[in-house]
Homo-oligomer: A and B are copies of this chain.
Amino acid sequence: MNSTRISQLFDIQYPIVQGGMVWVSGYKLAAAVSNAGGLGLIGAGSMYPDVLRTHIQKCKKATSKPFGVNVPMLYPNIDEIIAIIIEEEVKIVFTSAGNPNLWTSHLKKHGITVVHVVSSIKFALKAQAAGVDAVVAEGFEAGGHNGREESTTFTLIPMVKEQLHIPLIAAGGIATGRGMLAALVLGADGVQVGSRFAASLESSAHIDFKKKVVAVSEGETVLTLKEIAPVRMIKNEFYTQIEKLHQEHKSVEDLKKLLGKRRLKRGMFEGDLVDGMLEIGQVAGLIHEIQSAKEIVEEMVKEYKEVLQEKF
């Protein structure tokens, strides 16, 4: 496929970024995606600083291709994390969940390509003004944490595109070659794929979680916990308990108490499908198989090219 501003920015073959996800994307997944011609991202959000350092070092050994690290800026050890990223000479950083003014210039001073994840025009422009190299705009259908505006990929991408001049990566709802082409038609320069890679062979998620993602159908994920921070997850017993608190008009404190501290790890890493938190996007309904990252990238590119040959 043709190169885009995103494949050029990262010096990769295909403009496919693997979302940096907590409990899912360690060095194995990131290296596999990068080796397949996309951009792999290590998800720092669920790693202690020393664990992150090990993953970066192993990733460098596992691939000679570009890869990056996703850093949620609300991370408690953010200073230490950033220092490790610079020391280990990571070339690409995706920042999320925070103010792009905080770290962008510091990272760029060290020659790092910086991308910021947003869910609205307002923050896309704020990120551009902060000097980032590209923006990921993520729609309402995306798994995990999500914006309050609830703008969908189909409307957010062209609206951001109208106002942004730096490269734009579409995220939320994209798992196929067809979806990738639709995102590029809407104005994106590349795509970020989360859910499909979360269910890949190299993902560090629990096998039962991966099987659950494959089994999920349309309408079986939900954006909830809006009082704390909106998050999209699979409707399971834990979600039923959240709904019960909602119906009883319980307080945010009660919700936080129910949420507790280890829900996400329990669900995604330990495979507790009943009481764990199972973050995934709506597009899980289109994921029918656990595949290697290489198969996923190759299938997406093949389908993209095939759809381009259809009559429109």
Contact = CB atoms under 8 A, between A and B. Distances in A.
Contact of A186 (B2, B182, B282, B285): B182
A308 B312 CA distance: 8
A155 B286 contact: yes
A152 interface: yes
A153 interface: yes
Interface size class of A (residues with CB under 8 A): 35 or more
Given A139-B154, A141-B155, A149 B186 contact: no
Contacts of A181: 185, 312
A273 interface: no
A253 to B, nearest CB: 16
B182 A283 contact: no
Interface string A290-312: 00000000000000000110011
A182 B187 CA distance: 10
A121 interface: yes
A120 interface: yes
A131 interface: no
B176 A158 contact: yes
Interface of A: 1-2, 120-122, 139-141, 148-156, 158-160, 162, 172-174, 176, 178-179, 181-187, 217-219, 222-223, 249, 281-283, 285-286, 307-308, 311-312
11 contacts: A2-B312, A121-B219, A122-B219, A139-B154, A140-B150, A141-B155, A152-B152, A152-B153, A154-B174, A178-B187, A182-B183
